[in-house]
Structure 1
Amino acid sequence: MLRRCSRAAGLAIGLAAVTLGGPAQARVTRLELASPQPFGTFRAGDYLRFDGRVVGELSPDDHGIPDLDKAQRNEAGRVAYSARIILIAPADPAAGNGTLLVDVPNRGRAYANALYNSPRAVPMLSGDVGVGTGFLQDRGFAVAEIYWELGRGADLPSFVDGEGRRRFVEGVGFAIVRDAADFLAHAAADGAGTRNPLAGTISRTLGTGKSQDGRFLKTFLLDGFNMAEGRRVFDGMHVFVSGAGLLPIMQSGTGPGSSADGTPNFADPDFPGVHDGPLTIGEIVAKVEARGEIPPRMMLLNSTVDYASLRASLGRTGAHGTADLPLPANVRMYDVAGSSHVNVLKADACRLPPGRLDWAPVARATLVRLDQWVARNAAPPETRLMPVEPATGDPAVLQAPRNLPDAVVQVPKRDPDGNPIGGVRLPDIAVPLGIHGGQNAPLTSFTCSLVGTYRPFARVQADGGDGRPSLAERYRDRSDYVNRVHEAARAAEQQGFLLAEDVAVILNAAAEVPIPEPKAEAAPPR
């Protein structure tokens, strides 16, 4: 059962007594947290997990949220909301790195640990709040999961329309994330005096979101929610595999599900709302700057499969032609060559084995570089993209929607083996054991359109090779293969796309690969 965070709970994380600050706290009226539970011990020390809810209220004209003025109001004339929240933070605030990482859950499932703590051989799925590799905690991040979605952890205001139907004001999801993130970063306590467990420990805030929630962050920024009480909410954004889309929740839905559930796909290529606004991050940043705001520093990561299944190329070219548009100075974009939109161990409904390229190391390395970029202006790696070519008429590629008649969907170019060229090249691609990042089937299954494929090379041509060189022809022996992986891993580390600890894991895995050994020559007769 939830209760307000007690003084003992506050002392458990070593926070000094502080007083309620200025007007920024007014929007979060109540923080309800159960007693903290141990999360584990890491390089940064002991961590605690807090589960609870954040309760807040909005002015009926807040940010032009559609229909908010129609929702029921409290005695103060304001509109109330509440939402689930999870905090994972150092028990000793001095042990943290000063960064609050705010994760936007995907369809009610937390994603930060799956993005950053996922081990190589057993990828963590969305919703998994387990320790995994412990990367985030070893590095001292405080993590907040702020739930925002109708029917999935958020209680949104509602009203009855002229036809007697109950409607939910879904745009409040943006306000929930804005207000809760700002509260956790800057407030001392809520309106009732319940202390913020992170008070006085946060110097910068990063937002992270994958797929649906990468689109959430871009739309959040576009519609002006990155400002609270005259200050920026997110200093940096880490946006994963969001294609060229936005999130259509600035509307009121009838429930019980969210208007954010759907997205264009092979079964419904003209799904509305997602590709009805700005397609490129440059267009979004231009609108932010035109309002006089300073945009956050941003890293956008694309998978190879996103190009064929989510129209990712339109995030580079916009709605016209095939030429890449320039990126703003506050943005870096990285294509992870050979990667799938989502990593799974198996996909029984799909006709082919799913992709298996582990790109969590790139997520970890770029998060560290984004944090350094925000904290001390340390330059991150330059944008790294795959060269692309038009795929007009290809049935394995999701073509442009009818409302974008001049848009051209493009896909990555590939080498003679079938692997994509360019982009961020992990050792799996630089020193391949097979072909990564193809399309799975049936494409009308949304899952199968996102998991991609992996086709291993034949060990030797006698195993039934398809004309491509076998492993025995590519690598003299296991030592040759491991040496090449070592070279590729060190290159990726120097470029800023791998951390030293991940290099060690990759090399250990390479040393276990069964590369065929050369046959010993028969001794000459005496």
Structure 2
Amino acid sequence: MFGNRSPTQSGPGAGRPPGGARRAARAPMAVVLTGLALLALPACWTVPGGGPGGPPPDIAADLSQELTGGNGPFIGAAVTVDLAQAGYVEHEYAAAGTASSYRAVGGLPQDGRWTFEPDGSASYRTRVLVRRPAQAAEFSGTVIVEWLNVSGGVDADPEWANLHEEITRQGHVWVGVSAQQIGVIGGQVLVQAPGPGSELAGKGLKAIDPARYGSLAHPGDGFSFDILSQVARGLRAGAALDGLQPRRLVAAGESQSAFAMVTYYNGVQPITAAFDGFYVHSRGASALPLVGPGQGADLTGALLSSPTTFRTDQTAPVFDVQTESDLTGILNSSKARQPDSDRFRLWEVAGTAHADAHLLGANAASIDCGVPINNGPLHLVAKAALRGLTDWLETGRAPVTGPRVELTEGLLPGVRRDADGIALGGVRTPPVDVPIDVLSGDPGPKLSTICLLLGSTTPLPADRVAELYPTRAAYQQRYGTSADKTVEAGFVLREDRAALLDFAEPERVTG
């Protein structure tokens, strides 16, 4: 996820991404290990709140200094959005203070009922990027706080990329937090993806734009969890929001950041009660390990760790959206499946991949996996999940439950498929149930680390298409019926029905 300065140049696209219409986006796995010389930073300030134990419950990040100059806000943007057209403005702030790291007491049981206590402390100065309604009257009261993803070697905003239409039409505030050190000071990137902007991977904000970000410092990813808590406390008090007063804070993270959400929910949220809800997208079976000062997140260690579920004894609900490819393979999230409850929802979406054509935009063309990468409508389902979570927080009504994708038995389970190769079970959409292509979480034949995450789009043979749909009208009728069924079930929003219909391809039916 590389390259763009500020996502304010082109209009939003809710449906199938047009070829070449968007700029660079990447989501490779990466492991970061680097050191840091700490700087003397301003003292933090306080607001009421928090919970028993751990760091003092009233510590909040100082969000009073707006970042300006240089080349403007930097983000590895997957999707660019005309914020002015959406009625939004963007501001960037330093977040400064002294954070705690944590250590686990009594191990990390698989039921997620972990006990953390503070370990060391260190000064930090990172950045937060705020996108909010230009008119205060349009604010919904909900703030989405995204732990920015660094798997491509730069800060990126995949949750914004997937959810921005829903965020802006509802009037939510979105805040991206540079929580991890590679995004701020750089570090070793073990897996890189080709494409424009890839030369920035691993450099960090300080080197990418020293005029704007030269004062930033990060003490290591062990402190990232408390940094997130302190930013949340500042936001809840109205800092960096130009007078807006939040009623609900939702923590959000995708991929590596979703691993971090698991750690935060199980170990940190019981101490801080900093968030009202959690939106988790494409987690693996385990959680992001705690690390020592100056160290980056041990993502390899996370992939090799024991599975863990979300604990079930907290008030804040969790909505977990998993793609088909997340369930098996290197992420293997099926090992951490848990039942839906009054505090937990899991949607497993058939025919989707960890990263896809919508997320990668124009850079999808730079990656050769042997077949086109997955081009399913995951982002449409993801927006319905966000609506489900925010309604849950506001009204107390739990979202609709979703069926699980069917898996084979055995030590290394796989996805069960029909005769065409399409996954059975799971949350389903018209491109899966009325197929022209086989949308799959399985990668193409040219294997690489990034291709393992991108799934595949394989055209059905022409004779199979003719067998399924004797006429174009028959295809369109079936597709429309399927779309209505998906919307009625609650897995795609009514506002996104037209975008769902855009995925139909009647021109490929010859009858």
Task: State the AA in 2 paired with 1:337.
Answer: A
Task: State the AA in 2 paired with 1:144.
Answer: V
CA contact (8 A) 2:340 2:401 kept: no
Task: State the AA in 2 paired with 1:435.
Answer: V
**Matches of 1:39 and 1:435 in 2, distance apart?**
33
Structure 1 residue 442, shift from structure 2 partner? 5.9
**Matches of 1:428 and 1:413 in 2, distance apart?**
18
Partner residue in 1 for 2:98: 57
Secondary structure at the aligned position of 1:247 is classed as coil
Cα distance change, pair 451–96 in 1 and its aligned pair in 2 (3 A): same
CA contact (8 A) 2:321 2:385 kept: no
Partner residue in 1 for 2:130: 87
1:400-419 counterparts in 2 under 5 A?
A: 408-419=411-422
**Matches of 2:353 and 2:186 in 1, distance apart?**
33
Cα distance change, pair 441–477 in 1 and its aligned pair in 2 (3 A): closer
The structure number with the bigger radius of gyration is: 1
Cα distance change, pair 146–438 in 1 and its aligned pair in 2 (3 A): closer
Q: Does 1:216 align with 2:298?
A: no
TM-score normalised by L of structure 2: 0.71
Paired residues, number: 397
CA contact (8 A) 2:278 2:317 kept: yes
Q: Does 1:115 align with 2:162?
A: yes
Secondary structure at the aligned position of 1:410 is classed as coil
Partner residue in 2 for 1:447: 450
Cα distance change, pair 25–314 in 1 and its aligned pair in 2 (3 A): same
Q: 2:148 aligns with which of 105, 114, 120?
A: 105
TM-score normalised by L of structure 1: 0.69
**Matches of 1:496 and 1:244 in 2, distance apart?**
26
Cα distance change, pair 199–411 in 1 and its aligned pair in 2 (3 A): farther
Q: 2:385 aligns with which of 366, 373, 379?
A: 366
CA contact (8 A) 2:101 2:226 kept: no
Q: 1:389 aligns with which of 398, 408, 422?
A: 408
Secondary structure at the aligned position of 1:280 is classed as coil
Task: State the AA in 1 paired with 2:161.
Answer: A
- Structure 2 residues not aligned, in runs of 5+: 1-44, 50-56, 74-80, 104-115, 188-217, 358-363
Partner residue in 2 for 1:206: 250
Q: Does 1:245 align with 2:286?
A: yes
Structure 1 residue 366, shift from structure 2 partner? 1.0
Q: Does 1:182 align with 2:197?
A: no
Secondary structure at the aligned position of 2:258 is classed as helix
Secondary structure at the aligned position of 2:351 is classed as coil
Structure 1 residue 226, shift from structure 2 partner? 5.5
Secondary structure at the aligned position of 1:380 is classed as coil
Cα distance change, pair 104–136 in 1 and its aligned pair in 2 (3 A): same
- Structure 1 residues not aligned, in runs of 5+: 1-18, 70-78, 118-133, 157-166, 190-195, 264-271, 317-324, 393-407, 462-469, 518-526
Task: State the AA in 1 paired with 2:256.
Answer: Q
Residues 136-161 of structure 1, C-alpha deviations (whole Å, 9 max, x = no match): 212211000011111312799xxxxx
Task: Compute the RMSD of aligned alpha carbons.
Answer: 2.9
**Matches of 1:383 and 1:432 in 2, distance apart?**
21
**Matches of 2:429 and 2:455 in 1, distance apart?**
17
Residues 357-395 of structure 1, C-alpha deviations (whole Å, 9 max, x = no match): 1211001111011100111112311132112112x5xxx
Q: Does 1:421 align with 2:421?
A: no
Q: Does 1:235 align with 2:268?
A: no
Task: State the AA in 1 paired with 2:281.
Answer: F
1:441-480 counterparts in 2 under 5 A?
A: 441=444, 445-459=448-462, 461=463, 470-480=464-474
Partner residue in 1 for 2:501: 507
| Higher RCO (Cα < 8 Å, 6 or more apart) | 2
Partner residue in 1 for 2:345: 332
Partner residue in 2 for 1:375: 394
**Matches of 2:496 and 2:425 in 1, distance apart?**
21
Cα distance change, pair 364–443 in 1 and its aligned pair in 2 (3 A): same
CA contact (8 A) 1:373 1:379 kept: yes
Secondary structure at the aligned position of 1:308 is classed as coil
Residues 406-432 of structure 1, C-alpha deviations (whole Å, 9 max, x = no match): xx3322211111101111111001101
1:129-144 counterparts in 2 under 5 A?
A: 134-144=165-175
Task: State the AA in 2 paired with 1:356.
Answer: N
Cα distance change, pair 155–453 in 1 and its aligned pair in 2 (3 A): closer
Identity of aligned residues (%): 23
CA contact (8 A) 1:243 1:302 kept: no
Secondary structure at the aligned position of 1:238 is classed as strand
Task: State the AA in 1 paired with 2:476.
Answer: V
Secondary structure at the aligned position of 1:85 is classed as strand
Secondary structure at the aligned position of 2:91 is classed as strand
Partner residue in 2 for 1:128: none
Secondary structure at the aligned position of 1:151 is classed as helix
Q: Does 1:491 align with 2:491?
A: no
